[in-house]
Structure 1
Amino acid sequence: MSRPAALALPPWLAHALRAQRAPVPWNAMMRGALAGGPLLLLAVLVGRPSVGVVAALGAMLAGINDRPGSRRVSIKRLGVPALAGALGLLVGTYAGQYAQTYAGQYVGAVALTLLLTSLGLLAGGMSAVGPVASGAGTQVLVAAAIGAGMPLPEPGWERALAYLAGAGWLLVLRLVLPTPAAFTAGDYRFDGERDAVAAVYDAIATLLDAVGSPHATARRAALTAALDHAQDALAGPRLRRYASSSAERQLHAQYAAALPLAEAATALAWAGDAVVGRASEGPRRLAAAVRDNTAPGPLPAPFLPHARLRSRGGTLIAPAVRALDDALLSAAESFDRGGDAQNELHTRRRTAGSLVRLALGVGGREYGLRVALSFGASAAVAQVLDHEHWYWLPATAVFLVKPDLGPLVSRVLCRAAGTVLGAVVFAGLAALLPRPEGLVALVVVSGALIPVATRHFAAQTAVVTVLVLALVMVGGEPQASWSRIGETLLACAIVLIVGHLPIPKGQRGGGVRARLTEAGTAAHAYLLHILNEAHEPDVPGDRAARWTLRREAYRTLAQARTTIALSGAELPALARHTEGTDEVAAVLERLVDTTTACAVDLDDAGRLTPRHTEQLTTLLDELARHQRQAGISLPEVPGVRLSTDLTA
């Protein structure tokens, strides 16, 4: 029985109570246990505990970014934020020392606050670029606050090296330690890569099973997520345009072979004609072959008994089924060949110019302004209070202001609850455990728990609170559980106030609008490519370019959907600024699905059917109407036109 509507929780509260579900990451937990704790113990044994504290902080922040994925992608995911954090620690240390030594008490505090505010504006804007940039922006600000306020005897350059050593040690563990997938497939080099590519074939099979049912849309979204994950997993060093070994070329080719299969499955889902169960057997066998690094064996041909059929070459067969059959045959040949050295990953890589445009666009400006105000105000208030651990206040504000961690009120509630829980637990343990070995053991246990705790912001906060308080005591400072609670609650209040400040018209909801504009641009580019092929039926189409555009359209749509969902879960005062954007995204998704169906039909007949052109026209009109209602202006692509000659 479903819950009555009157008893349904508001979105911001439901988000605070919801946690991600996934298998226990035993390997990541082992890396967390072997990262900060051993470094801290070594530093204590040689009489340099403060160096160990900084190294453990670097390992802790790197551990937060140690998410599931391929080993090679972790180089960028962990390394880039670590470099940014070391730079922030260096800048913060020397800025804090200058403010204390050469400037007066008040002048130095004002100068330091202005510097940190400016750094928040820059880092906040860059955080809008993507997940890695967001992690880098967070670490540079947290490390800058720690460097400016944490009393340590080491100079700035030594702190930065210790920080890099901690993060670098975790990265080494990520690259060196084996995973279960490596043993299963018999190849140590590939762990997340094989699982990611196999998951694509599994998602294709699941979509084929759902064709004609109400679950088809959700399964198509799951296929998009699997393709995005595989694309990221294969984007690491040496897995780029030209692979450097036969095993890499094979894995590369197996991913490329999934693209036409995904296209055909999406076209079948659009048509809505149910397929028999054996249609999904082929992709499932391919998934097992990728995962176990074996041959797939004979693949069954798909069969569609009730589809609308078209005569071609004396054979009656639906275009989408023909495409699925051809894609399965091509995939089987690709698996047998073991890949082609010249085969290219169908991905679009952002240029430096596009990254700068994202950072300086409406989304980057809005988030940068919010980060700067929260970070600067927290630093100013903390220095006025003249608290011994004043750097905790701005460092806490940095995490609270991150929109990818959930709606604002949800983040505040989780941060407050997690801090109170972690501080109380640490206070009890600190009274019982011997020092410093008991505190080092707490760091080891907390490091191991971080990969699991990242599934919920409150749990992550509780674990990090215990770890940080243990590091503070190892560094020679007194127990600080209760001041930690006070600083966190004050940071929550500051971020809540800043989050609800009036922003100039057109700037509020900038992150959503930026993502939606990016998705609209990609969708129109994909549609334009297909229409150009329809206008020139005698010219062979560039399938690689088509798959690249399709991947970009679905990927940007998925990112826009995630951003819209987070914005919609805010309090009504904030959520109202992005009303109507979900409808725009839904129409864009249907437009891209229809464009994919058109592409498959073009391959089969060389022209579009009236059903396709009517659907495209209807969707473009509907998109324009929803844009006006939501107050969003998506860029128009010159040359997008529909006419009867396309179906002649």
Structure 2
Amino acid sequence: MSRRTPGPTLPPWLAHALRAQRGPVPWSAVARGALSAGPLLAAALAAGRVSLGVVAAVAAMLAGINDRPGSRRASVQRIGVPALAGAAGMCAGTYAGDHLGAVALTVVLTVLGLLAGSLSAVGPVASGAATQVLVASAIGAGMPLPDPGWQRVLAFLAGAGWLLALRLALPTPGSLTRDFRLDFRFDGERAAVAGVYDAVAALLDAAGTGHAVARRAALTAALDQAQDALAGPRLRRYASSAAERRLRAQYAAALPLAEAATALAWTGEAIPRRAAEGPRRLAAAVRAGAHTGPLPAPARSAPGLRALDDALLHAAVAFDRGRGDDLHTRRRSPGSVARTVLGAAGREYGLRVGLCFGTAVAVAQALHHAQWYGTHRHWYWLPATAVFLVKPDLGPLVSRVLCRAAGTVLGALVFAALAAVLPRPDGLVALVVLAGALIPVATRHFAAQTAVVTVLVLALVMVGGEPQASAGRIGETLLACAIVLVVGHLPMPGQRGGGVRARLTAAGDAAHAYLAHVLAGSEDRATRWTLRREAYRTLAEARAAIALAAAELPALARHSEGADEIAATLERLADTTTACAVHLDDTGRLTPRHVEQLAALRAELTERRERLDVRLPELPLAG
């Protein structure tokens, strides 16, 4: 029997461009998208304020891109903060465009790009805010609108605020048909916490198999999602309702379960399937808002199983009592934010974004003021497109360029065909409604998202009274792609790969703090779980940054070679530290296997950090 020879493997930069996210259709987000930009535009048409309606629709579209799955409370920050930044960018761009010449405007927007790019290194919300401030500043400076600047800003806030209001007010499909005692406003939090218990059960099932590492990573992702879901307004130190207190207690009860499951997986030994039944029943209880009922107890034949049994008993009590410990959330001090912005990652992000954004503005201004190009009214498309292409945290550069070019051509051609037959303006408003509804689904792939956004933007242009602009949109996008490809690969001052190194350094510091706390023998388990969460979360962030860097063209990818090996070592260190913590709780001492494993990981990290030139702390010795 002959074996089939495997086909050629695609290079990482091409494979990433062809990869799409999967999952169920987010019907809630689809409904919100349909009710956002289109109705705002229709209301503006009825009121005779079309230009302000276009601004509000653009803001709603940008907010819709940030409308990701999660809790309602978390969406306030995820949508609201970028919207406020976009309004500030609209104000700054409008003032600069009205009062500055081409050269001065280019300088101002370039500086704004440097600052916004540096801020992007702080985190996802900061990155979304930086993106919107740059896009809105370009629109404010270049879009020919008759309205004064303050009205544009209010229209922008109204558009984003309308989508946020829909996010907070509309129930999840199916939520009103369930038990009336379940408050639909907490569906996102409830699903996130239940997902943690399901992930614990999946990790217990995978113990002793080759799937354990992937299941532990999935557990980390589930804990990250639950932590974010519970971190919105009013879910702070003191919860404001019985439902919130119960969800907080259920999340807190999952932390020792996750710790015990990780320790059991670390041993590499299979455990009875009965052990996973308890977490699964807890997940069902979270979703149903019910009591846990009897939980099957695992055998108490090993430290990890005894820790799992104790954690199940603690969870049962916490579920019935409905009161948990104070919710621990990630809090960044002003000093840590400043260090991130001014550090290697912030400098690299700022230089890349500022240089590409400034170059796009300069080229757009030069072409706009040339006599043969003087009738062009959309020069702001060029820098706005460059922003979505160059942001280092949004994806590999070449992958986004390929997807942006393909998506724009497809969207422009589809719009040109539709615009030839649709009535105006009603048909175009209906097209905006359809495009708004498709955005939540299209965000799974950048090319699809680009195609949908292209249709929406071109429809808004025509509703505003301008001629069909599909050809111009394609030309602006292809020019922006060329600028970003060239400028994004230019030699930069300092060391490339700063974003990856910064993430690895943060992960190393967090792993060191976690290990030091465990080896010190502290009985403060709440602090230990907080340190454990930070260690695994920073590792997940480092893994994501490494994956994006590895999918760049070889000229950029080579600067982060070997980073995945350090991340893998740090992950094994975090798992070993968790196993040590559980064993110390049970026996008060470490086994020779624990000590030998920690020593080997310490030596491995010392060797690899020198090879990649990453600053990692010296690990404490165990004994």
| Residue in structure 2 matching 1:225, options 210, 216, 221 | 221
Amino acid paired to 1:9:
L
Q: Which residue of 2 aligns with 1:283?
A: 279
| Residue in structure 1 matching 2:112, options 104, 115, 119 | 119
Q: Which residue of 2 aligns with 1:542?
A: 524
Q: Which residue of 1 aligns with 2:424?
A: 435
| Residue in structure 2 matching 1:461, options 450, 454, 459 | 450
Amino acid paired to 1:545:
T
1:359 and 2:341 matched: yes
Q: Give the distance between the partners of 1:64 and 1:235, measured in 2 at CA.
A: 21
Name the SS for the 2:614 alignment partner.
Answer: coil
8 Å Cα contact 1:182/1:190 also seen in 2: no
| Residue in structure 2 matching 1:485, options 467, 474, 479 | 474
Q: Which residue of 2 aligns with 1:128?
A: 121
| Residue in structure 2 matching 1:525, options 510, 513, 526 | 513
Q: Give the distance between the partners of 1:385 and 1:592, measured in 2 at CA.
A: 54
8 Å Cα contact 2:31/2:437 also seen in 1: yes
Q: Give the distance between the partners of 2:173 and 2:50, measured in 1 at CA.
A: 35
8 Å Cα contact 2:91/2:150 also seen in 1: yes
Q: Which residue of 2 aligns with 1:26?
A: 27
Q: Give the distance between the partners of 2:22 and 2:575, measured in 1 at CA.
A: 29
User: 1:296-445, aligned counterparts within 5 Å?
Assistant: 296-303=292-299, 317-340=301-324, 343-386=325-368, 387-445=376-434
Deviation track 1:362-415 (CA, whole Å, cap 9, x = no partner) reads: 001101100000000000001111132100000000000123332111110000
1:626 and 2:608 matched: yes
Q: CA 1:38/1:296 → structure 2, altered by over 3 Å: closer, same or farther? A: same
| Residue in structure 1 matching 2:440, options 446, 451, 454 | 451
Q: Give the distance between the partners of 1:487 and 1:2, measured in 2 at CA.
A: 49
| Residue in structure 2 matching 1:139, options 116, 128, 132 | 132
Deviation at 1:632, TM superposition (A): 1.5
Q: Give the distance between the partners of 1:629 and 1:128, measured in 2 at CA.
A: 24
Deviation track 1:291-347 (CA, whole Å, cap 9, x = no partner) reads: 1101111000113xxxxxxxxxxxx7210010000000110111111224xx21133
Query: Percent identity at matched positions?
Result: 74
Deviation at 1:47, TM superposition (A): 0.9
Deviation at 1:242, TM superposition (A): 1.1
8 Å Cα contact 1:41/1:440 also seen in 2: yes
Name the SS for the 1:503 alignment partner.
Answer: coil
8 Å Cα contact 1:523/1:591 also seen in 2: yes
Q: Give the distance between the partners of 1:181 and 1:190, measured in 2 at CA.
A: 13
Name the SS for the 1:373 alignment partner.
Answer: helix
Q: CA 1:273/1:404 → structure 2, altered by over 3 Å: closer, same or farther? A: same
Q: Which residue of 1 aligns with 2:148?
A: 155
Q: Give the distance between the partners of 1:355 and 1:442, measured in 2 at CA.
A: 42
Amino acid paired to 2:384:
A
Which shifted more, 7-16 or 414-423? Answer: 7-16
Q: CA 1:4/1:541 → structure 2, altered by over 3 Å: closer, same or farther? A: farther
8 Å Cα contact 2:27/2:173 also seen in 1: no
Amino acid paired to 1:394:
P
Amino acid paired to 1:429:
L
Q: Which residue of 1 aligns with 2:493?
A: 504
Deviation at 1:353, TM superposition (A): 1.6
Amino acid paired to 2:356:
S
1:195 and 2:183 matched: no
8 Å Cα contact 2:85/2:130 also seen in 1: yes
Q: Give the distance between the partners of 1:561 and 1:423, measured in 2 at CA.
A: 36
Which shifted more, 418-427 or 329-338? Answer: 329-338
Q: Give the distance between the partners of 2:282 and 2:174, measured in 1 at CA.
A: 17
Deviation at 1:181, TM superposition (A): 6.4
Q: Which ranges of structure 1 fall in alignment gaps of 5 or more residues? A: 100-107, 304-315, 534-539, 644-648
Q: Which runs of 4+ in 1 moved over 4 A?
A: 1-6
8 Å Cα contact 2:89/2:134 also seen in 1: yes
Name the SS for the 1:564 alignment partner.
Answer: helix
Amino acid paired to 1:642:
A
8 Å Cα contact 1:346/1:547 also seen in 2: no
Deviation at 1:262, TM superposition (A): 0.1
1:78 and 2:79 matched: yes
Name the SS for the 1:191 alignment partner.
Answer: helix
Name the SS for the 1:126 alignment partner.
Answer: helix
Q: Give the distance between the partners of 2:45 and 2:321, measured in 1 at CA.
A: 56
1:642 and 2:622 matched: yes
8 Å Cα contact 2:117/2:391 also seen in 1: no
Deviation at 1:504, TM superposition (A): 2.4
Q: CA 1:48/1:65 → structure 2, altered by over 3 Å: closer, same or farther? A: same
Number of residue pairs matched by the alignment: 612
Deviation track 1:2-31 (CA, whole Å, cap 9, x = no partner) reads: 985651111111111110001101110000
| Residue in structure 1 matching 2:537, options 546, 555, 566 | 555
Deviation track 1:145-177 (CA, whole Å, cap 9, x = no partner) reads: 000000000111110000000000000000000
Q: Which residue of 2 aligns with 1:567?
A: 549
Q: Give the distance between the partners of 2:606 and 2:251, measured in 1 at CA.
A: 35
Q: CA 1:33/1:299 → structure 2, altered by over 3 Å: closer, same or farther? A: same
- Calculate the TM-score normalised by the size of structure 1: 0.93
Deviation track 1:395-449 (CA, whole Å, cap 9, x = no partner) reads: 0000001233321111100000000000000011111101111111111000000
Q: Give the distance between the partners of 2:183 and 2:70, measured in 1 at CA.
A: 16
Q: Which residue of 1 aligns with 2:574?
A: 592
Aligned-pair Cα RMSD in Å = 1.3
Q: Which residue of 2 aligns with 1:89?
A: 90
Name the SS for the 1:377 alignment partner.
Answer: helix
8 Å Cα contact 1:36/1:56 also seen in 2: yes
8 Å Cα contact 2:566/2:608 also seen in 1: yes
Deviation track 1:588-642 (CA, whole Å, cap 9, x = no partner) reads: 00000000000001100111111111110100100111111122221346xx223
